[in-house]
Amino acid sequence: MPIYMDLHFQILCAFSEFERSLISERTKESLNRIKNQDIKLGRPKGSKDSKPRSVSGYYLREASKKKSSDEGNGIFKSIGSYI
C-alpha cells in the first residue's frame, strides 16, 4: 500500500473519531437539558403495563429450543417431555 493511501486512511479515521465525539457530547448535553426540565424519558405507561403477562408462550418457545438442539444431537423426544 502506498504511503499516501495510509495517510489518507489515517486522516479519515481522525475525522470519524472527531465526529463521534461531537455526537456523544451533543447527546449527553441533550439528556442533561431534558433531565433539568423534569421531563420523563422512555415509553409512557399504558394499558399493557397493568395486565399480567402470559408466560405460556415462553415455556413452549424454550421447550422447542431444547427439542431442536437435542434432535441435532440425535435425541428424539416429544415436546411434552421438555415442558
Note whether 59 and 83 are within 8 A (CB): yes
- CA 45, 47, 51, 56 torsion: positive or negative? negative
Quick: pLDDT tens for 19-77: 999 999 999 999 999 999 988 888 777 766 666 766 667 888 888 888 888 888 887 77
Instruction: Write down the pTM of the prediction.
Output: 0.46
- Which grid coordinates belong to 15? 475525522
Domain residue limits at 82: 57-83
Same domain, yes or no: 2 and 31: yes
DSSP state of 79: G
Count up the domains in the chain and report the number: 2
**What pLDDT score does 25 carry?**
97
Grid cell 429450543 — which residue?
A: 65
Quick: pLDDT tens for 9-35: 999 999 999 999 999 999 999 999 999
Residue 63 in any domain: the answer is: yes
